[in-house]
Structure 1
Amino acid sequence: MEAIEQLKPKHTRSLAVTQGVFYVVTGLWPIVHLRSFEAVTGPKPEGWLVKTVGALITVIGGTLLTAGLRRRVSPELMLLAAGSAAALAAVDLVYSPQRVSPVYLLDALAEGVLVTGWGVAATHAWKHRGVPLPPPRYTSPEDAAGFPT
């Protein structure tokens, strides 16, 4: 796992920044101006719930953006990014045809691109993970037991 955490490919950072910006913008939109959000996506009976989901998406986006800019894209962050995109795509695909605006199908497409990108990044990280370091060698029974020498 250590070798994967040390791998910081440029494309993984770019993907984190891209998804982060996308999520911050789309997450803040219903919070800042619910009326224009509803004009594009359709009316919502529970404005507070839309704003709550927007806040959560904004937090995820801010986390991804910060990690990408700091070049600290860990396996856990990759899981958060891919899992969030997959969850949002699933909701888009399940509910768009029945109850909400077809514009959510465009969002499902964008989320699918993100999931694919993270899948490629994870595959690349796995293939280039490196060889783990051997365990430390002990020179005496005291060393092996953890006693100071």
Structure 2
Amino acid sequence: MTPETLAMIQGWYFLLTGVWPIFSINTFMAVTGPKTDLWLVKTVGAVLAVTGAVLLTAGGTHEVTPAVAHLAAGSAAALAAVDVIYASKRVISRIYLADAAAEVALIIGWAVFYLPKTT
């Protein structure tokens, strides 16, 4: 796998999961559980969608720079942390632990490409 492929995978994941609550909050809540602040869910979705679009652009144009990788891995780490912390406190549904697993896989992917190599 190349950094461009990883950027495309994460880009599609973020774009699709980001627009989902914007276009169908009812199906989103059917899977993820009830929400009280729908505006906040949609705002986070919009930010994820934009991040996904940037990753798709970077991957598609072969411009996956270290800054793009930091954005990708950092976003995945932030989401994984929120997923684990708030699912463990039972504030959000345990289904978010599946998202945390996906985010960790993405972080590992970026680490393979951008952590210093020892010889």
TM-score range, shorter chain: over 0.9
1:121 aligns with 2:113: yes
| Pairwise CA RMSD | 0.9
| Residue of structure 1 in register with 2:101 after alignment | 109
- Decide which of 3, 8, 32 is 1:17's aligned counterpart: 8
- One-letter amino acid of the structure 2 residue matched with residue 57 of structure 1: L
SS in 1 for 2:28: helix
Shift of 1:97: 2.0
- Decide which of 34, 41, 45 is 1:50's aligned counterpart: 41
Shift of 1:16: 0.2
| Residue of structure 2 in register with 1:67 after alignment | 58
Which structure carries more helix by proportion?
2
- One-letter amino acid of the structure 2 residue matched with residue 39 of structure 1: A
Structure 2 alignment gaps of length 5 or more: none
| Residue of structure 2 in register with 1:88 after alignment | 79
| Residue of structure 2 in register with 1:130 after alignment | none
Looking at structure 1, the residues matched to 94 and 83 of structure 2 have their Cα atoms a distance apart, in angstroms, of 9
Query: Aligned residues, how many?
Result: 116
Shift of 1:96: 0.8
Bigger-Rg structure (1/2): 1
Measured against aligned partners, the alpha-carbon deviations of 1:16-56 in whole angstroms (never above 9, x if no partner) come to: 00000000000000000000000000000000000000000
1:36 aligns with 2:2: no
SS in 2 for 1:96: helix
Shift of 1:89: 0.1
- One-letter amino acid of the structure 2 residue matched with residue 37 of structure 1: F
